[in-house]
Amino acid sequence: MQDQENKEVLDQQAGEAPAADATEGATAQAAAPATPSAEPGLEEQLSATEAKLAEMHDAFMRAKAEADNIRRRAQEDVSKAHKFAIESFAEAMVPVRDSLEMAIKVEAPTVESIREGVEMTLKQLTAAFEKNRLVEVMPQAGDKLDPNKHQAVAVVPSEQEANTVVTVLQKGYMIADRLLRPAIVTAAAPK
């Protein structure tokens, strides 16, 4: 009995197969005429995409050229800044040199006139330093030793607290917040 049912199922499937093939054939034939009418749509999409690609390429090239121009201008600006960075300081130093040259030309200098000229020249030099943010590093005796601003060349016995400045041998200088030369000091030894 079961064999008979299996045979019937196989016969039904065999009968349906040609119908299924016929349906697939009809679908393929229906799709075939649709393909020629779909091609103009694809060509339009392709040309639109190519146009958009050309537009994007143009925008990219313009952006790249602009970036190159900005980089070139920045390099020129940095080059000029390096070349003329000392200009302001040089302008402030020219009067100092003029004063020193005038002092040398005096034929009969007196001690008082030399002292007066040196004081005036020192004032000009101090003004030039201030104008260009060149600041003295001059610690006082008893100040805490700062390794970022002071250089201890000797440790001496002292009544002061350890690691404090005892004497300043040479003052230091800073340009803005950058150390140009540390102050040379002696420091108090630990007790």
Instruction: Give the pLDDT confidence of 8-64 residue by residue, as tens digits.
Output: 655 665 555 444 444 444 444 444 444 455 567 899 999 999 999 999 999 999 999
Instruction: With respect to residue 24, please indicate whether it lies within any of the assigned structural domains.
Output: no
- CATH number, domain with residue 153: 2.30.22.10
Domain count for the chain = 1
Predicted confidence (pLDDT) per residue in 131-183, tens digit: 989 999 999 999 999 999 999 999 999 889 999 999 999 999 999 889 999 99
Residue 41's pLDDT is 87
3 pLDDT more than 70: no
Residue 183's pLDDT is 95
Instruction: With respect to residue 180, please indicate whether it lies within any of the assigned structural domains.
Output: yes
Distances (CA, A) of 180 to 5, 46, 110, 136: 105, 66, 36, 10
Predicted confidence (pLDDT) per residue in 81-135, tens digit: 888 888 888 898 999 999 999 888 888 888 998 899 899 999 999 999 999 899 9
Contact 137, 178 (CB under 8 A): no
pTM score, whole prediction: 0.56
Residue 149's pLDDT is 94
Which three-class secondary structure state does DSSP give residue 182?
coil
Contact 165, 139 (CB under 8 A): yes
Instruction: With respect to residue 22, please indicate whether it lies within any of the assigned structural domains.
Output: no
Instruction: With respect to residue 17, please indicate whether it lies within any of the assigned structural domains.
Output: no
Instruction: With respect to residue 6, please indicate whether it lies within any of the assigned structural domains.
Output: no
Instruction: With respect to residue 91, please indicate whether it lies within any of the assigned structural domains.
Output: no
Residue 2's pLDDT is 56
Instruction: With respect to residue 167, please indicate whether it lies within any of the assigned structural domains.
Output: yes
Instruction: With respect to residue 115, please indicate whether it lies within any of the assigned structural domains.
Output: no
112 exposed, middle or buried (CB, 10 Å; 0-12, 13-18, 19+)?
exposed
Q: Which residue is it, tokens 């197969």? A: 17
Task: Count CB-CB contacts under 10 A for residue 168.
Answer: 18
Give the domain range for residue 162: 134-190
- DSSP per position, 86-122: THHHHHHHHHHHHHHHHHHH-SS--HHHHHHHHHHHH
Residue 61's pLDDT is 96
As a 3-state breakdown, the chain gives helix, strand, coil percent values, each rounded to 5, of: 65, 15, 20
Res. 191 pLDDT band, cuts 50 70 90 = confident
